Amino acid sequence: MAIKLYQFAISHYCEKVRWALDYKGLNHETINLLPGQHVKTIRTLTGGASSVPVLDHDGHRVQGSKEIIDYLDETFPENPLTPADPENREAALAWEQRLDDELGPAVRCYSYHHFLQRPKVVVPMLAAGTPFYNRILLKLAFSRVDEIMRNWMKINEKTSERSRETMEAYLTELADIYRKKPYLVGDRFSRADLAAAALLAPMFQPEQYPVPWPKAARIPRDIKVWLDEWQPQIQTLEQVYTANR
């Protein structure tokens, strides 16, 4: 049996899948792609959309973090991430959907809006896990990379501010729940908790997450001020990550 994960090391959707694979104790190979160059590789694999993560299990391919977790739970039922009880299952899937659709893009937009203004910091994160010369390529083409990423993800001052508000709403909601109970759904860890903590992980920068996080002094000022203000809520999510990752 061979499992391969095609991914960007930086992607928090890929972190969802890395975590699911580790949680289930499944051996796998990660194939790190450079954003931009990934399109050809992924389209060849899927025959369709170019987004990562993509899982290849003995030639069977699954695209998208939610679909991959569905597949892993069906194929390798040990250490389930989907609750067995139908009501809890529905609740966990609804949480994951909301988090994937709203929180994930908000974290990405807010972070990139500020980090793209620091090429020296963001390039090593974008190229993490790929050959060293990709850092040089990205640095040389940075103004084009910046333009493409901003266009593709609709990143600008206004969307970044809206994204910050979305993150604040989610952090408030999640921290309120975790103050009262250890899990979002039922009485055990599920894909709902995994999605929340993985998608917010760039805000607490865990060691297991395979990118060279910047030292505190190199974090853009706006983000640093914001992180300080939201530290109690962020720490709550970090605890969920540490306890279950």
Ligand X SMILES: N[C@@H](CCC(=O)N[C@@H](CS)C(=O)NCC(=O)O)C(=O)O
Binding site for ligand X (CB under 6 A): 8, 11, 13, 39, 50-53, 64-66, 100
20 or 174: CB nearest ligand X: 20
24 or 66: CB nearest ligand X: 66
53 or 220: CB nearest ligand X: 53
Q: Least separation, in Å, of the C-beta of 222 and ligand X?
A: 21
Q: Least separation, in Å, of the C-beta of 8 and ligand X?
A: 6
Long-range contacts of residues 142-151, Cβ cutoff 8 Å, at least 24 apart: 145/35, 145/36, 146/116, 146/119, 148/36, 149/35, 149/112, 149/116, 150/112, 150/116
Q: Least separation, in Å, of the C-beta of 213 and ligand X?
A: 17
**Which amino acid, one-letter code, is at 186?**
G
Q: Least separation, in Å, of the C-beta of 65 and ligand X?
A: 3
74 or 87: CB nearest ligand X: 74
* 118, 218 contact by CB (below 8 A): yes
Neighbouring C-beta atoms of residue 59, cutoff 10 Å: 7
- Joined together, the tokens standing for residue 201 give 């992980």
